[in-house]
Amino acid sequence: MINVAILGATGYAALELIRILLRHPSVRLTALTTRQDDHPRIDSIHPVLQGRCSLTCQNLSATEVADLADVVFCALPHVASMEAVPDLLSGGCRVIDLSADYRLNDAAVYEKWYGHTHTDADRLADTVYGLPELFAEQIPRADLVANPGCYTSTSILGLAPLLCQGLIEPGDIVIDAKSGVSGAGRAAKLGTIFSECNESLSAYAVGTHRHTPEIAQVLSTASGQQVEVIFTPHLVPMTRGILCTMYTRLTEDLSEAEILDRMRTFYEGRPFVRIVDHLPATKDCVGTNYCDMTVRKSGNRLVVLSCTDNLIKGAAGVAVQNFNLMHGLAETTALIV
């Protein structure tokens, strides 16, 4: 059994992590942390876990956690994450970091978009980006995996097969992304209370969302060319799910069927990508680790549609996918129910 800890266990992604890890045959959950000092039981914070998990959340230091775990899923906010990760690694843990702190490989870009000096910048160049569909060979040996953002993985998975095969122009990509409200986290903010979000729809952070450089970096790395994207996120009155509608230009005149074939070939053997013929709906991937995608030609554009559950394939599910690869387990372990 592999001893596993979760740092920052009270949020929504952590809840999904716990649910997946409880059914994982190789995992023993040994520690959950929170910055609260009252040591709440995890099933009082997430009552859905009653009868399943009665661990207490403790306010432990990274060093204390390192004594309790072989692997740590770090579900802390950015900045808090880079303060904990070095101690976890030096304590001998392998780390899957769900924050943004290790996703960008250039500290200057991090500082520009996140407004913080990166205090562990030396590690950025070598950190593995944990998107198994693109970087499966690097993940098994990694001690630190940067788990992708939810918008980013949904966008990247739809675009990568087209960019890597040279089918679309890398400099003319518009990503219109829509997310359920759980993507905003479990903190109480006026903007996410029910009466403000329900029965409403709006864009936010137009041109300034922090997932923008992450998408561009990973697609550039994967396809070996400079990729630029326009990215606009929207808040949709539903709890879970992301749909990215992406407008691209084909470099050659292929039919929809030919393009779908090329995408299927690209993802051959990847268990969590479903290239579908119909227009995918978020409800069909919510609760799963799948990314559903298709394409449509519209005027002079190729429209790529891609959707995921933001908390699973966009966070906890892909984290366990990375965990499985890091331990030589079947990639789907605990992820198909």
Q: Report the greatest alpha carbon distance in the chain.
A: 62
Q: Is 201 in the site for its own copies (CB under 8 A)?
A: yes
| Least Cβ distance, residue 291 to its own copies (angstroms) | 11
Q: Cα-flanking dihedrals φ and ψ of residue 268, to 5°? A: -55, 130
| Least Cβ distance, residue 31 to its own copies (angstroms) | 23
> Site size for its own copies, by CB under 8 A?
77
Please, which residues bridge with residue 94 across strands?
Answer: 71
> How many Å apart are CA 28 and CA 22, to the nearest integer?
8
Residue 179 · residue 235 · CB < 8 Å: yes
Q: Which is nearer to its own copies, 240 or 262 (CB)?
A: 240
> How many Å apart are CA 100 and CA 113, to the nearest integer?
11
| Least Cβ distance, residue 162 to its own copies (angstroms) | 16
Q: Cα-flanking dihedrals φ and ψ of residue 181, to 5°? A: -75, -20
Among 198, 224, 226, 261, binds its own copies (CB under 8 A): 198
Q: Is 181 in the site for its own copies (CB under 8 A)?
A: yes
Q: Is 192 in the site for its own copies (CB under 8 A)?
A: yes
Look at residues 245, 233, 235, 246 and name the one whose alpha carbon lies nearest to residue 180: 235
Residue 165 · residue 266 · CB < 8 Å: yes
Residue 91 · residue 74 · CB < 8 Å: no
Among 38, 141, 188, 253, binds its own copies (CB under 8 A): 188
Among 36, 59, 204, 226, binds its own copies (CB under 8 A): 204
Mark residues 214-253: x for contact with its own copies by CB under 8 A, - for none. --------------xxxxx-x-xxxxxx-x-x-x------
Among 290, 316, 323, 326, binds its own copies (CB under 8 A): 290
Q: Is 40 in the site for its own copies (CB under 8 A)?
A: no
> How many Å apart are CA 287 and CA 15, to the nearest integer?
13
Q: Sign of torsion, CA 45 51 52 58? A: positive
The H or E element spanning position 166 is none
Among 17, 62, 75, 303, binds its own copies (CB under 8 A): 303
Q: Which is nearer to its own copies, 71 or 307 (CB)?
A: 307
Among 203, 250, 270, 327, binds its own copies (CB under 8 A): 203
Please, which residues bridge with residue 275 across strands?
Answer: 293
Q: Is 190 in the site for its own copies (CB under 8 A)?
A: yes
Q: Which is nearer to its own copies, 166 or 237 (CB)?
A: 237
| Least Cβ distance, residue 234 to its own copies (angstroms) | 7
As annotated, the active-site residues are 150
